[in-house]
Amino acid sequence: MLINKKPAEVWVELHYKYKEEIFRFNLPLPQGGKFLDGLRVDFDRIDIPGGRRFTIVMEPLGEVELIRFELTGHLVYGDDIKNVFVNGYQSWTGSRERSPGEKISSLNWSGRFFLLQKYGDYQQYSYPEKKGRFHGYSYAYTRYPDRLFFAGSLDEQAGYSIIGTDLRHNLFSLTKDVAGLHLDERRLILDIVMLEGREDEVFDRYLSLRNEVSDTSVSNVPVKPGERAAAWSSSRGKRSTIDEVSLRRNLAEFRDRKVPLKYFIINDGWELNPGDWDSPSSGFPSGMSSLAAEIKGSGYTPGIWFAPFIVGRDSAIFRNRKDWLAKEPGKRLKPAGWIPSHGGRFYALDISRNDVKKFIAGSLERLRGEWGFSLIKMDLLYAAALYPPEGKSRGEAMTDAMSFLYSLKGESEYLLNSVPLESAFGKAEYCRVAAETTPFWENPFTQNLHCRERFSTLNNLRSTVGRRHLDGRFFSNDTGSFHLSNVKNSMEPSRRYTQLLLHSLLGKLITTSDNLGDYDEDEMNTYLSQFPLVQPEIEDVQESRRTVTIRYRAGGRSFISISNLAERMRSFELPEGKWFGAKGLKRRTHHVAGGRKQVLKPGESRNYMKRDADEIFAGSDGHLFPGCEIASIDVNETGNSFTVKPQVAVLNNFRVWIQVPGNGDVLINGKDAEILITSYGDRLATGIINVQYQC
């Protein structure tokens, strides 16, 4: 086991300023205490169940400003390593398991022209851009056939923890982003655990250790992750594309069809300008409170978009209170990003100012108290750490900002977006774990710029798979919106289905931005097939050549899904046995025997239910997870008449297949059933089950 291997050498590179003089040390990792010029460094190593915990505490003799801290050790990873997972800088940053021969490329110069560097770590970290060298934030792991070797930070208050893996030279590194951090008292700088074991064991242990660290006062009790829920959110867009008329029209579609959403979310574009949170745009003449009331009256929880840490260049704050804006000490004002839907450039607020905090608190109270919105979607949160106050590191600024939002939470629910994930642990019911989705598969332009935060369906799905282990532990995963409608959508039906399937398997907040009125019959049935909402029990996830295989259980049955996220055709082989191929978008159901090779197109997914030899149920097409739309199947004494009762929340008619013996006629819900013989010789009866409410 890697954890039991003692590294040949561990070196610490430490740069700091003391009494106006810069000191640079490169020394072996001290055991116990080490006295340097104006600074004492204490190192401690503790054996814990399943691994080890390492801490470094620094105590200055006077005021010390840290410049650089990096720990590097030799570690033989072995030849049986399969993949390396590195967690990206923030929600949008591509995060997935990478094969040992891959490399991570940095944003090129063209991307910087569009200010894309503001969204990631391109300004503060030098990418090696070599095969086998990876870096990630707060936690990382290497995967072996039977276990994970995991490293995770328990405290980012002093600065972000950047975990490096160098497979070419068998090196492990840990960099603390402490630039600018002032020490005037004894302080914890590093607290990291290294664990080894099965995936669930490792992440459960990591969660337990983090809760032990944070559970020091009532004010730090982690927020309980949100329940599984369906949501609708308006599309990200310009103010001209969102108004109360279109929102009310779509709300009526959901209400009239009795779709059991939990949240109805108004995304960005409702505000006059980012930062003018008291001024809705001209598209909302009736005001926001009346819209929130109508959403509540429809049986849904109203949600609204809010970017607390930024303002647009057309906002009143930018025009009149530039002293509220954050910037590097002694330098000119710089933007925090550029997104056309937000009016172009936007700027970060200085969260260290009490008047800025009062403004944010007042704006939040207006949204939920005066207007009545219960779910607050907080976006562009990374901006709080772009230009930290003097004396603080980026990680400390981000931690302080998220603790401030946590203190304002009250009874409202939070959905966080574009945030460094560690700072969001335990702070919200839901958190985005992937980039924004799009009505296209990939964006070649931003892909070629090597922007890891690019908006694209493929980038979103890879992180949805990659960060699945966070779901239900530190928050519930929001995977973004799926797109089933063919209106203004360039994706093939198979790729649209892949989006719905992976979001439903690996996320908790299942959201679409489609207008229901745009759906054709098959798209509507596919959308409604997620109801009643069922929480799948994930048993195993395997990635090979960018093909994702998920084994899970739902409704007491075993399933396997295969998704091709590669750019080429991929083949797969089902395990031996009898399988039912679930319905996809524009794809029919089918019964198939295992052991045969099948082919997936790029972006295509298949979802299969394992046939139980002792069960007469042989498949259905009314639910994403076949069988979950059925409450019961009863059979009469003669064995030729079946009564199928659907679940209460089923909204569309569906077809069911039942295995029957003999050669006689069969009735399903009192009607003659069709008979078919599968390729492996089973005799099945099939019929349509009508539900009370028809769409």
Choosing from 473, 502, 526, the residue where a domain stops is: 526
Q: From residue 415, how far is each of 224, 301, 433, 497 by CA, in Å? A: 13, 13, 11, 25
- Across the strands, what pairs with 303? 265, 375
In a domain, 544, yes or no: no
pLDDT digits (tens, 9 = 90+) for 507-527: 999 999 999 999 999 999 999
Q: Where are the beta strands (DSSP E) in 75-186?
A: 83-86, 97-98, 133-137, 139-144, 147-153, 160-166, 171-177, 182-183
Task: For residues 399 and 160, give the distance between their C-alpha atoms in angstroms, rounded to a whole number.
Answer: 10
Do 199 and 239 share a structural domain?
no
Q: pLDDT > 90: what percent of the chain?
A: 87
Count of domains forming the chain: 2
Measured in degrees and rounded to the nearest 5, phi and psi for residue 250 equal: -70, -35
**Which of 509, 526, 543 delimits the end of a domain?**
526
What pLDDT does 494 receive?
A: 97
Considering the domain architecture, whether residues 214 and 233 belong to the same structural domain is answered as no
Query: Is 543 among the domain residues?
Result: no
166 and 262 in a single domain? The answer is no
Whether 149 and 191 map to the same domain: the answer is yes
Residue 517 domain-assigned? Answer: yes
Query: Residue-wise over 609-631: b if at least 16 C-beta within 10 A, else e?
Result: bbbeeeebbbbbbbbbbbbbbbe
Residue 657 included in any domain: no
Which tens digit of pLDDT belongs to each residue from 194-217? 999 999 999 999 999 999 887 554
Residue 147: closest CA among 198, 99, 193: 198
Q: What would the DSSP string read from start to end of 101-118?
A: T---PPP-HHHHHTTGGG
Specify the pLDDT at position 254: 98
Radius of gyration from C-alpha coordinates of the chain = 27
Q: Give 694's pLDDT tier (boundaries 50, 70, 90).
A: very low
**What angle, rounded to 10 degrees, do the helices at 457-466 and 493-506 form?**
30
Could you tell me if 436 and 360 lie in one domain?
yes
Please tell me whether residues 354 and 384 are part of one structural domain: yes
pLDDT at 329: 85
Average pLDDT over residues 70-86: 94
Q: Which of 499, 550, 504, 494 is nearest to 531 (CA)?
A: 504
Query: Do residues 314 and 249 share a domain?
Result: yes
Q: Is 559 left (phi over 0), alpha (psi -120 to 50) or beta?
A: beta
Nearest to 45 by CA among 30, 28, 60, 27: 30
Per the domain annotation, does 607 fall within a domain? no
Considering the domain architecture, whether residues 189 and 246 belong to the same structural domain is answered as no
Whether the CB-CB separation of 459 and 94 falls below 8 Å is answered with yes
Task: Provide the pLDDT for residue 695.
Answer: 38
In this prediction, residue 5 carries a pLDDT of 54
What is the residue-averaged pLDDT of the chain? Answer: 94
What is the model's pLDDT at position 505? 99
DSSP H/E element including 394: helix 394-407
Burial zone of 442 (CB within 10 Å; 0-12 exposed, 13-18 middle, 19+ buried) = middle
Residue 301 sits in a domain whose CATH number is: 3.20.20.70
- pLDDT tens digit sequence for 329-370: 889 999 999 877 767 899 999 999 999 999 999 999 999 999
Which of 208-222, 442-456, 609-623 has the least mean pLDDT?
Answer: 208-222
Averaged over 628-643, what is the pLDDT?
94
Strand partners, 310: 348
Does residue 352 fall inside a structural domain? yes
Confidence of residue 406 (pLDDT cuts 50, 70, 90): very high
- 442 and 296 share a domain? yes
Residue 434 resides in a domain? yes
CA triplet 373, 401, 237: central angle to 5 degrees?
A: 50
In the chain, pLDDT over 70 holds for what percent of residues? 97
CA angle 54, 49, 156 (to 5 degrees): 35
What's this model's pTM, rounded to 2 decimal places?
0.95
pLDDT grade, residue 238 (50/70/90)?
Answer: low
Whether 343 and 210 share a structural domain: no
Q: Which of 158, 185, 219 delimits the end of a domain?
A: 219
Residue 604 forms part of a structural domain: no
Which residues form the domain of 402?
A: 229-526
Q: Do 35 and 62 have their domain in common?
A: yes
Q: b/e for 154-187, b at 16 or more Cβ within 10 A? A: bbbbbbbbbbbbbbeebbbbbbbbbbbbebeeeb
